[in-house]
Structure 1
C-alpha cells in the first residue's frame, strides 16, 4: 500500500454523487504548488485527483468549494478501464481516508475574500497595542 498526503486548493467544486446503493462519493482535484522553481523561475503546480467516500464525501461537498485549501491523506490507487470507443484510460488518485479543511466554505462566504490571505495588510499600517503581543 502506498500512502499519500497532500495540501492544496480545490480546482473546482467537489462533485458529489451517490452509487446505486446510496453510498456517497465525491471526486475533486487539488492543485499543489511545488517547492522548487522551473526553468522560467515559476513554481509549477501538480494537479492531484482525489476520491472520498461516505461521510467524508458529504463533509467535503458541504464545507468546501473551488479555491478552498484542504489537506488530504489516503491510499494512492491506480485504476484502468476501456472506454466504449476502445480507448484505454489509466488514472492515479488518492482514495481519501482523512481530510482537514484549512479554508472553510462558510468562512470564505462571510469574509468575501474568496480565499484571500487574511494576513495580508494591503500596505496599510497595523494598529496593535504592545500589551496584546504574546512575547
Structure 2
C-alpha cells in the first residue's frame, strides 16, 4: 500500500533531468516545505525548520517539469511517499522521497498561463486549429517553459491570438 501525500513548498535545488538507457525520462529535485506557527509567549509568528523531500518525476511529467520548473518556484506536489533508512561510508540517515504523480504551481505566489502539450490535444482540437488558422502552425514544444528575466525572476507569458487569428508577440508580465 502506498501513502499518498500532497506537499506545498519551494524547489530548493536545480531540477536534474536524466534519461535512462531504456529511454525513461526522470526529473529529480529537492523540495523544502516551510512551516510557521504562532508563539503565544511572544505574540508573533515563528518560522520552524523546513521538512525536506527528494522528489522524482517520470516520463511526460519529467519532460514537462524540465521545461517548466526552476529552483525557487513555489509548487504543489502530489504523489507516493517513501521513507527509507540508508547507510553509506559509516553514516546513517533517513531519506523522505516523493514519487510525483502531479506537480503544479502555487498560485498564491504568482501566475501562469497553461498550455497543453501537442501530444495531449485531442484530434478534434487539432482539426479545429487547422481549420481556423492559415498562419504557421503553433508548436507547444516551448509552451511549458516559464520565461525568466535577466535576474531569473519568472515571467508570465501571454501567447493568445490576435483578432485575425494570428499569434501576437508575447507580453512579459512579472509574477
Q: Work out whether 1:19 is the aligned partner of 2:59.
A: no
The 8 Å contact of residues 85 and 92 in structure 2, kept in 1 or not, is answered as yes
Task: Give 1:88 deviation, angstroms.
Answer: 5.5
RMSD: 2.9
Match of 1:31? 32
User: Which runs of structure 1 show a deviation greater than 4 angstroms over 4 or more consecutive aligned residues?
Assistant: 37-41, 79-83, 85-90, 110-113
**TM-score (normalizing by structure 2):** 0.53
Match for residue 146 of structure 2 among 106, 109, 120: 106
Q: Distance in 1 between matches of 2:105 and 2:150?
A: 16
Could you tell me which runs of 5 or more consecutive residues in structure 1 were left unpaired when the two chains were aligned: 116-135
Match for residue 68 of structure 1 among 36, 56, 73: 73
Task: Look up the SS of the partner of 1:62 in the other structure.
Answer: helix
CA offsets 1:77-116 (integer angstroms, 9 cap, x no match)? 1345654x46566422111011112356625x1596726x
Q: Distance in 2 between matches of 1:88 and 1:113?
A: 36
Q: Distance in 2 between matches of 1:9 and 1:21?
A: 31
The 8 Å contact of residues 67 and 146 in structure 2, kept in 1 or not, is answered as no
The 8 Å contact of residues 16 and 24 in structure 1, kept in 2 or not, is answered as yes
- Relative to 1, partners in 2 of residues 1:113 and 1:58: Cα closer, same or farther, differing over 3 Å? closer
Larger radius of gyration: 2
Task: Look up the SS of the partner of 1:58 in the other structure.
Answer: helix
The 8 Å contact of residues 15 and 71 in structure 2, kept in 1 or not, is answered as yes
5 Å matches for 1:73-88? Answer: 73-79=78-84, 83=88, 85=89
The 8 Å contact of residues 32 and 47 in structure 1, kept in 2 or not, is answered as yes
> How many residue pairs get matched?
114
Could you tell me which runs of 5 or more consecutive residues in structure 2 were left unpaired when the two chains were aligned: 113-144, 155-175
